[in-house]
Structure 1
Amino acid sequence: MKRKTWLKIVIGILSVLFIIDIMASFYFYNLAIERGEKDFLQGNEDLEVSAETMDVLLEGDWRSWVDGQAFDEWTSVSHDGLELKGYFLEAEEPSDKVVVMAHGYLGNAMDMGLFGQYYYEQKGYNIFTADARGHGASEGDYIGFGWHDRLDYVDWIDRIIETYGNDTEIILHGISMGAAAVLMTAGEELPDNVKAVIADSPYTSVNDLFAYQMDRMFNLPTFPFLPSTSIVTQLRAGYSLKEASALEQVKKAEVPILYIHGDADTFVPTSMSETLYENTKSDAELMIVEGAGHGEPYVAAKDKYINKVNAFLEKYTEWQ
């Protein structure tokens, strides 16, 4: 009798733990991946930036510049049937150079005007940016964290070349989730038109990022919550957290990559860019910006940032 009693108790405990794990998995999916507002990021100390950076991000002149531009709106249908929106701005003088820019988590295409203004006004390039699936005016009820987005960017690249000709030269520039997206794109078979990739504050993989944040934000172990959340993500969004890996993609990359990261980034640790850099198959460079938090290097050290980008483009491409 005692043995049966203990067996029932153990089974009961395991059943309760299993139910808790399933509930937690759906909670984390809804929290981070399902499309919608994300209140959990409000007040997050890891996302705090300097007052100067906040002023630039919220009220910088680049915002009025974006509002004053006549972007051409493009529509694309993804491989899985989502209608996606992109925005192309032709240079004031004819140019065969196009910068494809990828925004961060919960952002939208026009957020990349922070970088686009420089490329457009100072370099004279065409610029293109898109609302990632699950963001802005693009369809999608989940956030792809760059994984499915990589195929969307391949489609956008093909369309740019088809529209503007085979002599078109392209660079990819992304920040945070957008940086991971362009790195994941770099691991695909790309046309020779793609000359370089600039990744600002990227993560190695969605699995690594979630593991880091589960510990930092919730003080939870990765097992069993992370594997079960990955299963839910596979079932509902069509990808697993482990397969969504910028690290595995850069191991296949042929295009030169410039990594930029702040050494005060506690939301996506600087070590992730270091790991990516060390494992990149193609030529790569790494710039660490002292004192910069997550996604802050451009504002925190603008001259250094621009000089590095220009030197990188001059070294690995014919862009002047």
Structure 2
Amino acid sequence: MKKHRILAAISAPVALFSATLLASEKLYNFAFKRVDYVPETSADKQKYADAYWSYVDWLHRQPVENWELNPDDDQNHLVATYVPAKGASQKTVIISHGYKGDGETMANYAYMFHQMGYNVLLPDDRGHGQSAGKYISFGWQDRRDYLEWISRVLQTNGPRTQIVLFGVSMGGATVEMMSGEALPPQVQAIIADCGYTSIEEELAYLLKRQFHLPKYPFVPIVSFINRHRMGYFLSDVSSVEQLRKNTRPILFIHGEKDVYVPSWMLKKNYQAANGPKQMWQVPNATHAESFWIDPATYQKHVEAFLKQYLPQA
């Protein structure tokens, strides 16, 4: 009997540990593994579907160019769509898409900037769209890829071009993370719409909100898995730390009713940011809805910000 009690005492925690590891592996694959389709939008945004597809149709009608990085490297092959401005322009915007999206899903923002006279570059991030990658890096590896896209823009459009970095959701966090890099002087402004503070905080928040699971032990285990798969811990992936090194003018946009990336993350990012900064919290907007509620007002805010910092805007 004593032997059976000892075995039971040992097997129970072992079984719990094994179950936790299995659940963490499933969580990692769910959150980080690429999917080769764009998931359907949330129910509350279905009302914008017709408008969304009209922007996609507009994009398909444009005389676009297909750009590539590392075309002979299957592990690092990256793809982007370039939409030249209607006429000669010294202004280029690089638009960073959201989680499990791709460049095409940003067609509405591409249209807005195109109407403002910009060349537009729409990359597919690693693990998304036509670009390579087994896993999603949530902006961390992407920030370095975008430095290469910036170099490609300068190579194509010349050293006089003025570059704006723009992103929404994961893309907002991506351009926030780029803000801490050594950017060339041609990058003159950044606009981040509903970006998170860090992937560790975002994952812990969503675990609790959507799955009623605690941060511990799941987030540390997922972080360890990511260190093995991608080479870095989740604690490394921080918009806040990068924003502390920022020197560029930056506009933060965030929906007042965002429960996916909560508004306290907006305030934490804003407080951390160095350099000239502005914040616009959009009334009644949920996650990534700020544009859709009123595209004209959204464009006016963007134009007003850029006119302060881009001589030709």
Please, what TM-score do these two structures have when normalized by structure 2? 0.93
> 1:83 pairs with 77, 87, 103, which one?
77
Say if 2:29 is the partner of 1:30.
Answer: yes
Contact 2:164 2:188 in 1 (8 A): yes
Tell me the residue number matched to 1:291.
284
CA deviation after TM superposition for structure 1 residue 9, in Å: 4.2
Contact 1:313 1:319 in 2 (8 A): no
Whole-Å separation in 2 of the counterparts to 1:183 and 1:48: 28
Tell me the residue number matched to 2:141.
148
> 2:44 pairs with 36, 49, 57, which one?
49
Residues 153-190 of structure 1, C-alpha deviations (whole Å, 9 max, x = no match)? 01100111122211111001101111111111111110
CA deviation after TM superposition for structure 1 residue 8, in Å: 4.7
SS in 2 for 1:182: helix
Whole-Å separation in 1 of the counterparts to 2:250 and 2:9: 52
SS in 1 for 2:88: coil
Whole-Å separation in 2 of the counterparts to 1:67 and 1:265: 31
Say if 2:96 is the partner of 1:102.
Answer: yes
One-letter amino acid of the counterpart of residue 189, structure 1: A
Contact 1:31 1:38 in 2 (8 A): no
List aligned pairs for 1:172-187, cutoff 5 A.
172-187=165-180
Contact 2:56 2:108 in 1 (8 A): yes
CA deviation after TM superposition for structure 1 residue 288, in Å: 0.7
Say if 2:224 is the partner of 1:225.
Answer: no
List gaps (5 residues or longer) in structure 1: none
Whole-Å separation in 2 of the counterparts to 1:249 and 1:300: 30
**Matched residue pairs, number?**
312
List gaps (5 residues or longer) in structure 2: none
Cα RMSD of the aligned pairs, angstroms, is 2.2
Contact 1:168 1:193 in 2 (8 A): yes
CA deviation after TM superposition for structure 1 residue 24, in Å: 1.3
Say if 2:71 is the partner of 1:72.
Answer: no
Instruction: Evaluate the alpha carbon distance shift between residue 84 and residue 215 of structure 1 in structure 2; reply closer, same or farther with a 3 A threshold.
Output: same
CA deviation after TM superposition for structure 1 residue 138, in Å: 0.5
Please, what TM-score do these two structures have when normalized by structure 1? 0.91
CA deviation after TM superposition for structure 1 residue 221, in Å: 0.6
Task: Give the percent of matched residue pairs that are identical in Structure 1 and Structure 2.
Answer: 36
